[in-house]
């Protein structure tokens, strides 16, 4: 805990057998109270490894629900067990859990309610092995998103995020996509509610066991990101009314 606030790390997992343990071992348990792993119907030993490590909350889907669907399970469980701060960390070891301290202190001390670990701030992305095409795509999409959402974030596509539980209770994340665009819909909802988002520089690692989506899925994801941004802008102007921004979380 920090300032009496319960901190829960959630890890939405899919075929993370070879990286889950390394990720878990770097989590700072001097402040982290609980860890939740939700396995999205993996075909490897992700669930077995999570139990071998001794993780208390291991949830296994009986079918693949998608990246967004997996996160929904994570957040629902974190709120159920009374989390005050929820850290979403990919278990593929691309992001270092050593930054959890910095992210959570910003929230626990009421400086920000949302903190992102950015691979783009500084020079960590390309240095860490991010493919050039992904880097260029990331920069292009982020530029468009900043214009349409009226923000100044360095990236919207990181898999390392910390939230105040109040934010998760406020936004309507259960109506978001079950696919990869879920992350962007969440951020658009957070911006729409007027929350400020902080970023800290996060080094990243790209290697064979780290998760990644193929070129076709990346293209579909990019189109989805653009759609989210334009829907947000049209809703903001009053041209449309999206359920993502106007139905309260139950």
Write down the pLDDT at residue 231. Answer: 94
Write down the pLDDT at residue 108. Answer: 97
Answer whether residue 170 is part of any domain: yes
pLDDT confidence of 247, banded at 50, 70, 90? low
Write down the pLDDT at residue 210. Answer: 54
Answer whether residue 246 is part of any domain: no
Distances (CA, A) of 125 to 13, 95, 118, 221: 22, 11, 9, 19
Answer whether residue 247 is part of any domain: no
Answer whether residue 168 is part of any domain: yes
Answer whether residue 149 is part of any domain: yes
Answer whether residue 204 is part of any domain: yes
Tens of pLDDT, residues 74-106? 999 999 999 999 999 999 999 999 999 999 999
> 134: domain range?
7-240
Query: Which residues contact residue 250 at a Cβ distance below 8 angstroms, ignoring those fewer than 6 apart?
Result: 174
How many helical (H) and strand (E) elements, i.e. helices and strands, does the chain have? 10, 7
Q: What's the CATH code of the domain at 167?
A: 3.90.550.10
Tens of pLDDT, residues 170-223? 999 999 999 999 999 999 999 999 999 999 999 887 766 555 567 788 889 999
Which among 44, 9, 41, 40 is positioned nearest to 23, based on CA atoms? 9
pLDDT confidence of 250, banded at 50, 70, 90? very low
Write down the pLDDT at residue 209. Answer: 56
Which runs of consecutive H residues, i.e. helices, occur in 54-181?
Answer: 66-80, 100-108, 124-127, 132-149, 165-170
The tally of domains found in the chain comes to 1
Answer whether residue 249 is part of any domain: no
Write down the pLDDT at residue 130. Answer: 79
Q: Are strands 7-13 and 34-39 parallel, antiparallel or unpaired?
A: parallel
Answer whether residue 29 is part of any domain: yes
Say whether pLDDT at 45 is over 50. Answer: yes
pLDDT confidence of 249, banded at 50, 70, 90? very low
Write down the pLDDT at residue 243. Answer: 80
Q: Within its chain, how far is the Cα of 48 from the centroid? A: 24
Give me the percent of the chain exceeding a pLDDT of 90. Answer: 79
Write down the pLDDT at residue 128. Answer: 74
Q: Tell me what the pLDDT averaged over the chain comes to.
A: 92
Write down the pLDDT at residue 152. Answer: 96
Give me the percent of the chain exceeding a pLDDT of 70. Answer: 95
């Amino acid at each position: 805990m920090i300032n009496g606030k319960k901190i829960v790390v959630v890890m939405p997992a899919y075929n993370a057998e070879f990286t889950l343990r390394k990720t878990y071992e770097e989590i700072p348990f001097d402040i982290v109270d609980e860890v939740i792993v939700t396995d999205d119907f993996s075909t490897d030993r992700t669930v077995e490894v999570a139990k071998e490590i001794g993780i208390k909350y291991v949830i296994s889907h009986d079918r693949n629900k998608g990246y967004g669907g997996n996160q929904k399970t994570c957040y629902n469980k974190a709120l159920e067990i009374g989390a005050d701060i929820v850290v979403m960390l990919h278990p593929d070891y691309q992001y270092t859990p050593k930054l959890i301290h910095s992210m959570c202190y910003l929230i626990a001390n009421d400086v920000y309610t949302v903190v992102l670990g950015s691979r783009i701030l500084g020079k960590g992305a390309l240095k860490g092995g991010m493919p050039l095409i992904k880097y260029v795509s990331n920069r292009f999409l982020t530029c468009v998103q900043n214009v349409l959402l009226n923000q100044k974030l360095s990236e919207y596509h990181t898999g390392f995020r910390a939230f105040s539980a109040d934010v998760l209770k406020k936004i309507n994340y259960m109506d978001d996509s079950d696919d990869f665009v879920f992350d962007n819909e969440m951020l658009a909802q957070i911006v729409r509610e007027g929350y400020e988002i902080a970023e800290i520089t996060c080094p990243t690692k790209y290697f064979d066991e780290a998760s990644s989506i193929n070129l076709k899925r990346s293209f579909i994801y990019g189109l989805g990101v653009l759609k989210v941004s334009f829907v947000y802008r049209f809703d903001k102007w009053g041209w449309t009314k999206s359920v993502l921004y106007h139905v309260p979380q139950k």
